[in-house]
């Protein structure tokens, strides 16, 4: 069978492949064909293929040429709004338009139109942040992990930072507060116990080497039961009195109070008081991946001069996306404009109505399903306590659910959903209206195939 595999030379001459061969560089074509043949060969050796079919090899090669991009849109039917694996926040159309308009041409990224001299890329963001939140100044880095690293490195390197034990979090293996401290050259001084800390813990920990008191959002876990912690405002007062910096890593960074964060500290709340705060651009804020650092002007100026900032610098794609995101926040209808907020704000009734419609369509096609109460998650390592009541569509099947899941994942526009006990579970909270038809058709197709 291995000998029946056609040669690369022969395939390069194939009429059916001519269109691809003409379009792509010779070396690339040879490499693509070799790769497909290698895989085919392995399948033969593993007895997955019983007979060499020339036509099938041609289809495989064509498919390989056709799937130009590895990055593609997927339908998120999991109900996890800030799904880190699925790109966290989707960006609304006007933000995408701004990105494409600015980046397709030259722009004033680092050019001051006032002076005609070199400008700062951060200036495009600073004013809007100041007007929106009340913080004096801002600087943007690649992500919040970089923000934490930069802040510690600039203000606490070779010195001590006090952090409560209840906040020494791990946000997915590659971000652990103690490790970041170590990398930044900061000595971590842990205070309190796992569940409690008091202001006297901070007083006792204070030394000549203390440069900072740091508060970290717990983000992906919660403490229940006997929990006592010193609040941000108390720590701010303490820091001021003792002449040390107060820095809060807010994790998700919620600009204003809204339905989901009644007990969360908002960015605007801290504006008048905190020395420095940082948070992610693509968690609750609903913007591009970046780390947003806000604070008193004297501190932000220092960060802007730091060598390390150069290594964490963001490009025009990020800055244009963030600028447009902030513009949406400035508008009254922010909930419609920020997609992640919009999804979180959808009412139970609205999603139930959408779910019932799909349930009826499935019923007409002879597929058994039911709509039942469940919960959606905010996701993105934020607000672990909050489960948003959300109706879900449960679809029963006699087929192997894991296999159905895989088939849906391999569609041209893949569908990502959860399964449990031989049922597919769809949460429409994270599904866009115009994706519904494709979603239903695909599920019917896969189940009835």
Ligand X SMILES: *Cc1c(COP(=O)(O)O)cnc(C)c1O
By CB under 6 A, residue 197 contacts ligand X: no
By CB under 6 A, residue 150 contacts ligand X: no
Stretch of residues binding ligand X (CB under 6 A), selected from 73-81, 213-221, 396-404, 421-429: 213-221
Sheet containing strand 387-396, strands side by side: 80-82, 369-379, 387-396, 423-426, 418-420
Closest distance to ligand X from the beta carbon of 129 (Å): 17
* Residue of 137, 160, 249, 435 interacting with ligand X (CB under 6 A): 249
Smaller CB separation from ligand X, 180 or 341: 180
By CB under 6 A, residue 359 contacts ligand X: no
By CB under 6 A, residue 251 contacts ligand X: yes
Closest distance to ligand X from the beta carbon of 369 (Å): 35
Q: What does the alpha-carbon distance between residue 62 and residue 430 come to, in Å, rounded to a whole number?
A: 33
By CB under 6 A, residue 176 contacts ligand X: no
Closest distance to ligand X from the beta carbon of 449 (Å): 39
By CB under 6 A, residue 379 contacts ligand X: no
By CB under 6 A, residue 90 contacts ligand X: no
Residues 281-340 that bind ligand X (CB under 6 A): 291
By CB under 6 A, residue 89 contacts ligand X: no
* Residue of 217, 337, 354, 392 interacting with ligand X (CB under 6 A): 217
By CB under 6 A, residue 166 contacts ligand X: no
Closest distance to ligand X from the beta carbon of 34 (Å): 38
Smaller CB separation from ligand X, 61 or 322: 322
By CB under 6 A, residue 216 contacts ligand X: yes
By CB under 6 A, residue 381 contacts ligand X: yes
Smaller CB separation from ligand X, 79 or 381: 381
By CB under 6 A, residue 145 contacts ligand X: yes
Smaller CB separation from ligand X, 78 or 280: 280
Stretch of residues binding ligand X (CB under 6 A), selected from 214-222, 260-268, 348-356, 436-444: 214-222
By CB under 6 A, residue 171 contacts ligand X: yes
Using Cβ positions, the residue closest to ligand X within the complex turns out to be 251
Residues that bind ligand X (CB under 6 A): 143-145, 148, 171, 175, 216-217, 219, 249, 251, 280, 291, 381
């Amino acid at each position: 069978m291995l000998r029946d595999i056609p040669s690369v030379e022969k395939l390069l001459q194939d009429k059916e492949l001519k269109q691809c061969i003409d379009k792509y560089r010779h070396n690339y074509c040879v490499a693509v064909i070799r790769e497909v043949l290698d895989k085919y060969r392995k399948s033969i050796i593993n007895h997955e293929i019983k007979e060499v079919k020339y036509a099938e090899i041609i289809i495989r090669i064509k498919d390989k040429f056709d799937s130009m991009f590895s990055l593609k849109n997927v339908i998120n039917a999991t109900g996890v709004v800030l799904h880190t694996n699925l790109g966290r926040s989707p960006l609304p159309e006007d933000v995408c338009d701004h990105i494409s308009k600015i980046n397709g041409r030259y722009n004033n990224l680092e050019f001051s139109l006032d002076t005609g001299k070199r400008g700062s890329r951060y200036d495009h963001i600073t004013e809007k942040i100041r007007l929106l939140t009340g913080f004096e100044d801002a600087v943007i880095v690649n992500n919040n992990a970089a923000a934490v690293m930069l802040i510690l490195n600039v203000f606490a390197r070779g010195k001590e930072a006090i952090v409560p034990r209840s906040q020494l979090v791990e946000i997915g293996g590659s971000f652990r507060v103690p490790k970041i401290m170590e990398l930044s050259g900061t000595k971590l001084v842990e205070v309190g116990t796992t569940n409690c800390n008091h202001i006297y813990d901070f007083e006792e920990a204070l030394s000549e080497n203390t440069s900072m008191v740091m508060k970290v959002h717990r983000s992906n876990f919660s403490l229940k039961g006997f929990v006592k912690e010193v609040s941000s405002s108390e720590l701010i007062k303490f820091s001021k009195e003792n002449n040390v910096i107060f820095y809060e890593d807010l994790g998700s960074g919620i600009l204003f109070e809204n339905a989901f964060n009644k007990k969360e500290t908002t960015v605007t709340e801290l504006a008048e008081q905190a020395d420095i705060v940082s948070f992610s651009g693509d968690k609750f804020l609903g913007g591009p991946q970046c780390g947003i650092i806000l604070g008193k002007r004297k501190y932000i100026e220092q960060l802007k001069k730091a060598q390390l900032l150069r290594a964490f610098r963001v490009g025009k794609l990020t800055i244009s996306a963030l600028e447009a995101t902030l513009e949406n926040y400035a508008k009254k209808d922010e909930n419609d404009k920020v997609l992640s907020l919009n999804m979180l704000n959808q009412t139970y009734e609205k999603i139930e109505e959408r779910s019932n419609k799909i349930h009826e369509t499935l019923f007409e096609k002879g597929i058994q399903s039911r709509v039942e109460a469940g919960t959606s998650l905010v996701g993105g390592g934020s607000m672990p306590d909050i489960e948003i009541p959300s109706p879900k569509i449960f679809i029963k099947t006699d087929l192997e659910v894991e296999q159905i899941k895989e088939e849906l994942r391999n569609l041209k526009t893949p569908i990502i959903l959860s399964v449990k006990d031989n049922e597919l579970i769809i949460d429409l909270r994270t599904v866009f209206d115009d994706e519904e038809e494709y979603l239903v058709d695909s599920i019917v197709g896969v189940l009835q195939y």
